[in-house]
Structure 1
Amino acid sequence: MDMSARFEREGGGDMEAAEGPKGFLGKLGSRMTRARGDELPNLPTREAMLLLRNYEESGKGWFWSTDAAGRITYISGAVARLMGHTPRALMAKPFAELFQPADSRCERQRTLPFLLTRQSKIDELPLRTAADGGERWWAVSGQPFFDAGGRFAGYRGSGADITAQRRSAEDASRLALYDSLTGLANRLHISKKLDTTLAMLARQQRSCAIMLLDLDRFKHVNDTLGHPAGDALLKQVAQRLLKIVGDKDRVSRLGGDEFQILLPEMEDRGQLGDMAADIIASLSQPYSVEGSRCIIGASVGVAISPFDGTSSEDLVRNADLALYAAKGGGRGRFRFYSSDLHQAAEDRRALEDDLRDALARGEMALTYQPIVNAKNDTVTGMEALMRWEHPERGPISPALFIPIAEEANLIWGLGEWALRRACTDAASWPGAMRVAVNVSPIQFANADLPKIVMSALAASGLPPERLELEITESVFLGESDETADMFKALKAIGVRLALDDFGTGYSSLGYLQTAPFDKIKIDQSFVRGATVAGSRNSAIIAAIVALAEALDMETTAEGIESLDQLDLIRKLHVSHVQGYVYSKAVPHDELLQHAESGSWTIKPAGPAKQRNDRFHMFRKVGAIHENHRYTVVMRNLSATGAFVEGLLDVPVGTQFVIDFGEGQLATATVRRSRKHQQGVEFEQSLVSDGNGGLCTRHRVSPYLIAAAGQNLSPALALPAFTCTSDWQAA
């Protein structure tokens, strides 16, 4: 509002009167002259007023005044317009209503009405306004003034625009709490948030889960495409995580290619497992980075409070241990924390040391699983599978030692040994059966691979067309010229190439146009669920077969175990079958006995229908019935039930609560009973633990156990508490 407008509203005559000694600016000028009289020569009142007006117009500050009721009697025109108003429109409006209500960003903001009511001095109070021009911050000062009779008459004050300083401070705060590359919360921010969340939920006796993620093969992207490409990839990873999780404040980048997700009030391991699987599937889809197509993967570790720790340090450490186990299990997996992972980590480190000398000590061997023509049951080839017979621990699963070999840089030596041994063995087979040998991505990336293949063929005398190299889709990580050159070099030798584990997360039809594969191997994950009602897997298999036929490729379905699976695979015109329905992997000597006539025909055998996976074990567990707890031995386990021994003549229909320890319970009903053996059915099906084992959705909270005096009683053994720890085949 300009001076003339204000003077006219107050009934004055001319501008000079408004600017005189009794006008608002005149009074301010007199106050300024008196305040600095010891430093400046006395200025005429009009000169002081002109200086103040010049100060207003410079935009460096503004003035305001109110009456005793807090209503505006004067406000600088420039600031009124910045607030989205005209000076005239603001006259008689409450001064406090110019500013936004207090929020967490400025706790002092709530003191303005209080200060005005108490007639207190206001000293650079930060206040916020919002108008079409955007959010602005002001530092507002003011002092109460009184009339000649000593009665409070209102406020006179000034203000300054501190928006730039405020934004600078917020940017600095954001840099301290957020990752500058992805915009996600950083380690410090998520750590503080986790502490706060755990403390709050502990008071409410509620759960909280965290996930730790580590990207698989990210280093290869950095090494081959450069760090700028790696940064661009991390941004895309962050976007995909936010799309799944939804809440930006729950997703953080800890540094490098590590991420953490905070999930308050979640403890359902079925839901958590589904989310982890969705994350892995999403992050494993191809990326376009600076014109290059690249593929990575992810591994996930999950820990849940209060079961796996009540402090943030314990929870993060245990989630990290679960992540380590997931990566050790073959990557591209998730794992829930369980107490036995501590020992598993120690065992894994010991296995790495032992694996370094396993070849020299003669502990490695190859077994061979038949690959059978689906039409006539004739064996056309064998897949070579590496086995490790540990001198103390016995047979070690390849799912365990192959990832160890890859991380410890031992896979090249093991892979070369397997290739040479397989060629030598196959050369002694009667007939023309082929041998299939797995080639890891690390081997495939080594420029010496064609030389090793030619050397193995030459030393054994095996014709090249009888050697089939099985290669996974992860070799197409960067689709570089080196990849195309490797395919060209291998095909020039004359060997066959098979695309292994097709459809497990890295599939693309693009590379099938150029990569010279002779066969597509359909992953067993599609086969396992294909006969289940409502499954779309059979349609996916049919599409893969049609694609292969169009490209003049063979197909092999892996993991066939039941006769109904085999019937379906035949109806879908899959050309070859591999699985227990025909044969497990057999030693070389046994293979020679079967194939001594030059051909080997196997009659399929197995269960009529697909059934849930059963894990054979020998494990002591508790069986709670009424007021008694019995110790029984669990001999096998599936998602829907178990087979136990140790109780005599239990009536069918009896309900037990199976206690796996640490407050982890599963309600079960006896469905079959014969002397000391019982088959029990779980009330709620178990779920995958992400690593080939099983677990239940829930666990009995330690809070509940503590409330019961730390003694599990039948009162706790209700159907709602159906929980176990992670377990798998022993």
Structure 2
Amino acid sequence: MRARMFMTNPLDIILSNMQQGVAFLNADLRVVLVNDRFAELLRVPKGQIAVGVDANAIAGQMAANRDQSQIWLLHLLMNSTALHQQIEIGDGWLLAFTSTPIDHDGWLVQCEDMSPLASLEKTLAEQRGLFDTVLDNMPHGLCMFDADKNLMLCNAAYARLYCLPEQLTRSGTPLQHILDYRQTLGNAPAHRESYFDVVVEAALKGATASQNIALMDGRVVKISHKPMENGGYVAAHEDVTEAVRADEQIRYMASHDPLTGLPNRTLLREKIDRELSLDGKTSAVLCLDLDHFKEVNDTLGHAVGDLLLKAVADRLADCLREGDSIARLGGDEFVVFQADVRGREQASTLAKRIVEVVDKIFVIDGKPIRIGVSIGIAIAPDDGDAADSILRRADTALYKAKSNGRGTFCFFETAMDANRQERRNLELDLQRALEHNQFEIYYQPQVDAASEQVVGFEALLRWHHPERGLVPPAEFIPLAEETGLIVPIGEWVLRQACNDAAGWPADICVAVNLSPLQFRSQTLAHTVVSALSDAGLPASRLELEITESVLLTDNETALATLHHIRGLGVRIAMDDFGTGYSSLSYLRLFPFDKIKIDQSFIRELGSSKDCAAIVKAVVDLGASLGITTTAEGVETKDQLSRVREQGCGEIQGYLFGKPLPLSSVHDLIRGRLTSAA
């Protein structure tokens, strides 16, 4: 057995078990020794490359890569140095060919299968290409630094973000060099320490840390650092300037008035609470409300009103000391906050100054405008130690200032809270009154001036409060106007009056007052039609009374609504004629059926020639236009005689009857019918 083993040449055993192909060529470039693996790797049949075969024949087996085979042959013939080649032998079969000169002018030729390694390298190259493509097409800058803060790689977006030249994007560039270069360009971090803070934070957390970094050029870059195990880090750089500006704008809009740019209620409350938390300070809050601003809006339009508000804001700002602040709460309401005052005197001085400057004429779009301002003042900490309480009490003082005649200021007093609460309770009661049928309509007769026969009744609202008793209209009608409750209340009055009048004789009409707020409703005409239909009352027996304030608000819409209602057959009367600024002009704009001369003129008929002349002129004007005239407030025989002399067609007043409940109206009508019989 042992003898058989030694019969085989050990060299043959080695060659036949090698993974490499091996061939020895002599000086004539002929094969003197070759293993089977050599032919296998060249992909030629076994035996074609054998002892005696020359190099030219071997080169012929490399036909798939003729250039490399020729280089190989020429090198063997002309050189005596080693040659390393990669030769493709068809279908991607790649061999590493190494030719090494040996003693006696021969060559050792080795070949090795490189296909798996080449495939791996190709895959890696493709992945690197894909990685580079992704890296260079990322919208955000990406960079990687080692533990010594030397650049390992970065993408094109990073270079573009900071305008870096190519040499500063090479691997090994120190971060300090990049930052120094950016300093010269003016786009380095505005505070370089903040840039390194986020690096330290990420390292300490062992996780990603992000921070918005302001740059010297005004941009803001969000930098997110993620530490690596070797002490380096990867960082993403995103230009968030627009997002930050948008966020700042949103925060600004949330805390400032868009029209004037002044702080709003939210920002004001924050400042007041902050200042009031400091001990030893006396502060003043002044609540301002512009007088007659609504009239400006109604007559000149909201565009002029907005310009006026901006002009007022500028004047108010000029009145303030350093440290004082001003805010607009909305509408025509402003608040001035004096964070540190010596007492009521200093707040009083500012209030006087504000009243003075606001009272001066404004010129808006070439139009002179005069308004005023009412001011309520509360002092902290005496009147409150928090924003909500001090603002509420300044507002309570403002309400008092307005009720005192406007154009003035008033300090908060404890008793005002009780008055304000009483008004609030009255408002709540008024809301419940309609639901609990606490309203009742009284009717005041209107008579023919010549025959003294009743021709109609004016509907006048009364409120039977369960605790207060009969509440005068002067107390609750203005409150209903302010709160908007006049709209549902007015509709109830209209419907009830139509129902009541439907039971009267056909020649007696009912007059119902309409509020300007009802005209702002898009459904007024529909409500009138519905009330008439539900009651079965002919439209000709309904008379709607308006004041000129209705036409001051959205003149065109109000006129269109009036024409629509009059087209139904309803009569339209102008109430309180002569008390406004433009009564005569409205007679030209709309064909009123009746003019009601205000009682202030009737009251002075016996003592004022001017009043007599005005009444006479109105009656004559009405006659020329075919409009009936009614004298309001006739209380004496003398007044009756005088209005008859002036030619008034109808009379209303205590002389012929006070407002009566419905039951008394029926008695009055029955008495009229009895006397007529």
TM > 0.5: no
Instruction: From the CA coordinates, give the structure whose radius of gyration is larger.
Output: 2
The structure richer in helix per residue is 2
TM-score of the two chains, using structure 1 as the length reference: 0.42
TM-score of the two chains, using structure 2 as the length reference: 0.45
